[in-house]
Amino acid sequence: MTDDFTTEIYYDADADESLLENATVAVLGYGSQGHAHAQNLADSGVDVVVGLREESSSRSAARQDGLDVATPAEAAARADVVSLLVPDTAQPAVYEEIEPHLEPGDTLQFAHGFNIHYNQIRPAADVDVTMIAPKSPGHLVRRNYENGEGTPGLLAVYRDATGEAKERALAYGKAIGCTRAGVVETTFREETETDLFGEQAVLCGGIAELIKAGYETLVDAGYSEEMAYFECLNEMKLIVDLMYEGGIGAMWDSVSDTAEYGGLTRGDRVVDDHARENMEAILEEVQNGDFAREWITENQANRPVYTQLKDAEESHEIEAVGDRLRALFAWADAEEAPEDESNENEDDRTHVRADD
């Protein structure tokens, strides 16, 4: 723990893994997070059973990784801790299957707060409801663990029925390697709302629109597609890497004075008061549940809007230009490709989230 921050941060020394010594953990889902949690838990000496539907193509992958596989209901019946790591949109249906097998004192463990915060899952009052959310995709959660490193994560307790919910969640966080790097305490509400806002306004939605708008502005003015791609998309990574390593200041320090002056005087003309008002409206829709209702209805209707927008995005000219140019520079990203693709062989619906 540290008192330098406004929130608590927990490390290995704050977590007691013996709380999982006599416990069985059911990991439901074997995708990005599921495969990493299951393997890390097992390597930490925890008794793990992976819960997957009979027809799931992930079953063979989990077995090949040396794990015990059962149906979600069977796994939940055997477990003291049930980690719900199927896609967020599939969780309510999977929860219905396992609900009869949650006993008083069991733990329902999440990696994202959406379904609890927006009341899509309402667990019984005698079950602990906790979250350990690694701030990273699953393949890194696994790779870091194998390298003896950790992955930072979030901890939240929605319901403490046993009086030990937080300690048990920390033990889980330790077993998957998160307390090696640090686990930050938050709430289901804060994690859910900041996560949705971030991916909509800044990370996924915001950055994709910024890139496309810049690209289109240059191409419409007669500049070449290649130049527009390099300026507006390719260089984005170099700039973000500098910020990631040393803050926004490190970026300003390493660009030219001309770039710094131009950026400081023009940046807020792009992200102007109107853009900030739009951000506030987007946050409001997250907070008042409008976004959650919209997304749930969209799924019930088989995703008509999602499908249409996804198709339009894929057919944007910048994608074809990028494919062509990246093929010429294939050496550039060869070492960055994720080695684990176990989440792509499933007939599932795609991710609700993106970050992380």
Residue from the set 142, 168, 174, 353 that interacts with ligand NAD by CB under 6 A: 353
* Least distance (Å) between residue 58 CB and ligand NAD: 4
CB half-sphere exposure, 59, CA atoms < 13 A:
11
Contact flag: residue 356 with ligand NAD (CB under 6 A) = yes
34 near ligand NAD (CB under 6 A): yes
177 binds, among ligand NAD, Mg ion, none (CB under 5 to 8 A by kind): none
Distance between start and end Cα atoms, the chain: 23
User: Residue numbers of the site for Mg ion (CB under 5 A)?
Assistant: 195, 199, 353, 355
Q: Which of 67, 140 has the CB closer to Mg ion?
A: 140
Q: Is 112 assigned a catalytic role?
A: yes
Own/partner contacts of 105-109, CB < 8 Å, gap of 24 or more, are 105/80, 105/161, 105/162, 106/79, 106/80, 106/81, 106/82, 107/80, 107/81, 107/82, 107/162, 107/165, 107/168, 107/169, 108/82, 108/84, 109/81, 109/82, 109/83, 109/84, 109/169, 109/172
User: What DSSP state is assigned to residue 176?
Assistant: T
Give ∠ CA 251-282-353 in degrees, rounded to 5.
70
Q: Does 134 bind ligand NAD (CB under 6 A)?
A: yes
Residue nearest to ligand NAD (CB): 31
- Residue from 42, 76, 77, 86 touching ligand NAD (CB under 6 A): that is 86
| Widest pairwise Cα distance in the chain | 68
Active-site annotation holder among 35, 37, 101, 112? 112
* Residue number with CB closer to Mg ion (12 or 298): 298
| Residues belonging to the active site | 112
Binding positions for ligand NAD, rule: CB under 6 A? 29-34, 52-53, 56, 58, 85-88, 90, 94, 111-112, 133-134, 137-138, 343, 346, 348, 351-353, 356
